[in-house]
Amino acid sequence: SQKIEQNSEALNIQEGKTATLTCNYTNYSPAYLQWYRQDPGRGPVFLLLIRENEKEKRKERLKVTFDTTLKQSLFHITASQPADSATYLCALGGYSSASKIIFGSGTRLSIRP
Amino acid sequence: GAVVSQHPSWVICKSGTSVKIECRSLDFQATTMFWYRQFPKQSLMLMATSNEGSKATYEQGVEKDKFLINHASLTLSTLTVTSAHPEDSSFYICSALEGGQGNQPQHFGDGTRLSIL
């Protein structure tokens, strides 16, 4: 069956450290993968998109990798800050239609001062 | 840029009432919009894809007569929950694709919390 799994429901790390979130999928062949941030009671906010032929993407303190052999994406936040605390969602796209995406269950990240 | 406004943000109504939720792209045109449902501490579940000027495409298990979608213009899609019951209580979120291209970020509204008494 098709699955998208994010490494843990919750992750708690010290401010200043690098947060690493994992997204694994089975029985999908996505053309691209996206990462979103969602704060409580709000809609998701787009962070990064990485295509199947790309290994790595960076944006300021954020880095995403995409390994289509392992069927895994890693999302890193370097020099983490308490303001980075939120739920992070990975989403796979381009597997059935160009624009439709399917979300993972999310990881709730807490950065403690 | 790329702002999506969703209204209302919160609604409480009696069982049997129909509720309309609006999703507007404020500063761009959206050929394609999406409607999601989210239960507490769970991820977003796609309900339907709304295309301007044509019928919506519903995901498996979503009743099209229960959740009516209209996308009459390039900046507005509406979701009407007809004859709502307590089990329809949820957080409903819309998103829009700028330009209708695939392989692009979706811009989300801030959701509508629907509570049916």
DSSP string, chain B: ---EEEE-SEEEE-TT--EEEEEEESSS--SEEEEEEE-TTS-EEEEEEEETTS--EEPTT--TTTEEEEEEETTEEEEEETT--GGG-EEEEEEEEGGG-SSS-EEE---EEEEE-
Q: What is the mean pLDDT of residues A20-47?
A: 94
Which of A32, A100, A102, A108 is best to mutate for the B interface (most B CBs within 10 A)? A100
Judged by a CB distance cut-off of 8 A, whether residue A59 touches chain B is no
Say if CB A43 and CB B6 are below 8 A apart: yes
- Nearest Cα of chain B lies from the Cα of A69 at a distance, in angstroms, of 20
Nearest CA in chain A to B37: A43
- Is it the case that residue B80 has pLDDT exceeding 70? yes
Q: What is the mean pLDDT of residues A25-51?
A: 93
Judged by a CB distance cut-off of 8 A, whether residue A102 touches chain B is yes
d(CA B16, CA B86): 9
Which of B103, B112, B113 is best to mutate for the A interface (most A CBs within 10 A)? B103
What pLDDT score was predicted for residue B72? 82
Number of other CB atoms surrounding residue B60 within 10 Å: 4
- Is it the case that residue A96 has pLDDT exceeding 80? no
Of the given ranges (A39-48, A84-93, A94-103, B39-48), which has the lowest mean pLDDT?
Answer: A94-103
- Is it the case that residue B99 has pLDDT exceeding 80? no
Q: What is the mean pLDDT of residues B60-89?
A: 94
- Is it the case that residue A78 has pLDDT exceeding 90? yes
The DSSP code for A68 is T
